[in-house]
């Protein structure tokens, strides 16, 4: 009856008039009269005859009868409402024959539909055809807008696929979960310095989106900028199996292979996830900050407590760690993708984007204390497109959707779940023995931060009065000597770090009088990693290719002599790179500078 009411009169059964009710009552008895375009007089006669019977038996009054018989028949059937069609399909398949009331806010749903259709029109010019979005009221744990895809009625380009429930490559969208997990356990300090240099781990060579490197970057900044190399280094330190278990606990059921299958690529989109489950995990992190009782079920789609899966466990157990993670995500700064100062929305949102390999999936998830908005952009077919990145597509849609929502306050600082620690401002680690007082800074951190890394980047060295040389007491001669605390990065970090930080001062060389006693690490290989496995490919002409070996030296003008398996190869200066094509098997590469410092690395060629 309800469907027929919508079909013929454009509203629900609860608001049918006497004339409309009588019309629906006589239709099943005369199937040939189902179409209002023909036999209208016969249908009108049958309706009025029924109304007369209702008048005669006292069911309706004379006034109701006159008004009902004066009411005309509808001209044509109405199209059935197409509001949240993917959600309607989902509910029908999961609860067939059941009358349910969804949690969807109709007005918001229609506005969100308009936003997505507008952006889809623009994105489709680049053959990006599909778009999905989810808006959640976190305080009620209810979905208030569900758009599984755009243009449901067109039946083309995968528009009827419910992307919200589809497994897609996660890109960088899982990075905040690793940061939060490490903070919870005390395995990372909020601003701890992480390497951002070219790395190769068992043939896996991640690169930043910008293809640039900072040498070293603070962990919270690396998260905000979504840098890939620091994330891989963090996962390597934390452990793939531990993070895999954390994600499973956070509700990602799409991890259906063993942890070692994904490896370090797990943090860069090597796994798949659904927009629904990823959004639920972000909601758990937000709820941890609000210190509300952990949710026992996923987002509600219908009223009266009818949920899909119960027994949910919140993997985000530390409110302080979750708060620090969300704080870092409010400082998103991605100059390699877009300048966010032009975003019209000025409200405070913790948000993260993700882009899968091959530009196939673009994600954006944002949270405030009250709302969560999650967006996916791409092609349901899996076709990649240039420019299909989270920042250039999904994030723009996400902020437009936030503009439909009322402004909210920000998360209260969970002081009871934070502790004050004194860290080194330069390294972000706990203050070490040689950190100068001017570098000490007091910050909030989770309780487990007291077991974090202690700064070993500040070294106590003796320099001449003009700080041009390092000296020892017995060879200082007329140069003078004084002890200082010097911030020193490993050579490979330093080589990139100086390009981004002109004020960084490398350790001065030893004075000529003290050079015989010189010690310390002055060289470091950038590529390859120790004990790494290198694959030498064939060129198009069939010849054997080459690999570029690279070295960092603290003294830019130093001359370095290269030896492969005790065979002299040549020398380099300024830029220390050497193209080599070693045969298959194990090798040892040794470099010696003009001061006699040497360094050996072992690797294998396949």
User: CA 471 to CA 485: how far, in whole Å?
Assistant: 14
Q: What's the pLDDT score for residue 37?
A: 65
Pairing relationship of beta strands 272-273 and 168-169 according to DSSP bridges: antiparallel
d(CA 604, CA 531): 7
Pair 301, 165: CB distance under 8 Å = no
Q: How many other CB atoms sit within 10 Å of the CB of residue 296?
A: 13
| CA dist list (Å): 167 to 162, 361, 376, 382, 485 | 10, 11, 11, 11, 52
Are 193 and 200 within 8 A, CB to CB?
A: no
Q: Residue 394 burial (CB < 10 Å; 0-12/13-18/19+)? A: buried
Residue 349 is predicted with a pLDDT of 93
Q: Which domains does the chain have, with CATH numbers?
A: 2-70 (1.10.3810.10), 121-402 (3.40.710.10), 523-605 (2.60.40.10)
Per-residue pLDDT reduced to its tens digit, 16-42: 999 999 988 887 666 555 566 667 888
The DSSP symbol for 158 reads T
Q: Supply φ then ψ for residue 565, to 5 degrees.
A: 50, 45
At 256 the pLDDT is: 93
Q: Which two tokens stand for residue 266?
A: 């797990």
CA separation, residue 94 to residues 164, 309, 329 (Å): 16, 12, 36
Residue 460 CB-half CA count within 13 A = 7
Q: Can you give the pLDDT at residue 111? A: 97
Regions in the chain scoring below 50 on pLDDT: 306-308, 334-338, 340-341, 345
**pLDDT value of residue 31:** 57
DSSP for 65-125 reads: HHHHHHSPPPSSPPPPP-SSHHHHHHHHHHSTT----B---HHHHHHHHHHHHHHHHHHGG
Rounded to whole angstroms, the Cα distance separating 191 from 213 reads 18
Look up residue 245 and give its DSSP letter. H
What pLDDT score does 307 carry?
A: 47
- What gap in Å lies between CA 193 and CA 214, rounded to an integer? 11
pLDDT of residue 337: 46
Residues sharing a CB contact under 8 Å with residue 254, sequence separation 6 or more, in sequence order: 167, 271, 272, 273, 274, 277
């Amino acid at each position: 009856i309800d469907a027929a009411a919508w079909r013929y009169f454009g509203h629900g059964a609860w608001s049918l008039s006497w004339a409309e009710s009588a019309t629906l009552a006589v239709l099943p008895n005369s199937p040939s009269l189902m179409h209002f375009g023909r036999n209208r007089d016969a249908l009108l006669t049958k309706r009025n005859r029924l109304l007369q019977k209702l008048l005669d038996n006292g069911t309706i009054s004379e006034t109701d009868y006159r008004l009902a018989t004066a009411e005309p028949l509808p001209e044509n059937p109405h199209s059935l409402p197409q509001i949240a069609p993917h959600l309607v399909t989902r509910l029908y398949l999961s609860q067939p024959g059941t009358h349910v009331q969804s949690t969807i806010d109709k007005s918001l749903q229609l506005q969100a539909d308009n936003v997505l259709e507008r952006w889809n029109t623009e994105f489709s010019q680049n053959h990006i055809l599909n778009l999905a979005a989810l808006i959640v009221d976190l305080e009620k744990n209810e979905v208030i807008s569900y758009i599984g895809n755009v243009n449901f009625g067109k039946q083309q380009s995968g528009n009827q696929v419910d992307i919200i429930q589809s497994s897609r490559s996660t890109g960088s969208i899982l990075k905040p979960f690793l940061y939060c997990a490490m903070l919870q356990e005390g395995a990372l300090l909020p601003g701890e310095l992480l390497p951002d240099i070219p790395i190769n781990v068992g043939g896996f060579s991640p690169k930043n989106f910008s293809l640039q490197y900072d040498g070293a970057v603070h962990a919270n900044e690396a998260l905000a900028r979504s840098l890939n190399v620091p994330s891989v280094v963090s996962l390597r330190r934390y452990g793939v199996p531990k993070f895999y278990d954390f994600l499973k606990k956070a509700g990602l059921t799409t991890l259906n292979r063993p942890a070692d299958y994904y490896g370090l690529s797990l943090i860069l989109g090597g796994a798949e996830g659904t927009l629904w489950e990823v959004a639920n995990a972000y909601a758990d992190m937000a709820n941890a900050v609000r210190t509300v009782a952990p949710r026992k079920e996923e987002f509600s789609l219908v009223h009266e407590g009818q949920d899909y899966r119960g027994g949910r466990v919140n993997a985000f157990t530390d409110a302080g760690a979750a708060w620090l993670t969300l704080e870092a995500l409010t400082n998103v700064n991605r100059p390699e993708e877009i300048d966010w100062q032009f975003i019209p929305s000025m409200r405070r949102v913790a948000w993260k984007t993700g882009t899968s390999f091959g530009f196939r999936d673009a994600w954006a998830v944002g949270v405030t204390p009250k709302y969560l908005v999650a967006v996916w952009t791409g092609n349901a077919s899996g076709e990649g497109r240039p420019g299909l990145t989270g920042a250039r597509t999904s994030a723009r849609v996400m902020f437009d959707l936030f503009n439909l929502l009322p402004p909210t306050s920000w998360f209260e600082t969970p002081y009871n779940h934070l502790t004050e620690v004194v860290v080194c401002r330069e390294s972000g680690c706990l203050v070490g023995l040689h950190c100068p007082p001017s570098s000490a800074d007091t910050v909030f951190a989770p309780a487990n931060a007291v077991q974090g890394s202690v700064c070993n980047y500040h070294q106590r060295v003796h320099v001449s009065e003009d700080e041009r040389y390092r000296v020892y007491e017995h060879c200082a001669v007329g140069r003078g000597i004084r002890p200082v605390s010097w911030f020193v990065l490993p050579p490979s970090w330093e080589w990139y770090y100086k390009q981004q930080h002109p004020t960084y001062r490398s350790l001065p060389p030893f004075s000529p009088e003290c050079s015989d006693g010189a010690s310390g690490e002055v060289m470091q290989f950038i590529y390859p990693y120790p004990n790494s496995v290198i694959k030498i490919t064939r060129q198009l002409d069939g010849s054997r290719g080459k690999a570029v070996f690279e070295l960092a030296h603290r003294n830019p003008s130093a001359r370095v002599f290269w030896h492969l398996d005790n065979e002299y190869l040549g020398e380099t200066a300024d830029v220390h790179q050497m193209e080599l094509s070693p045969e298959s098997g194990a090798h040892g590469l040794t470099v010696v500078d003009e001061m006699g410092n040497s360094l050996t690395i072992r690797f294998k060629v396949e």
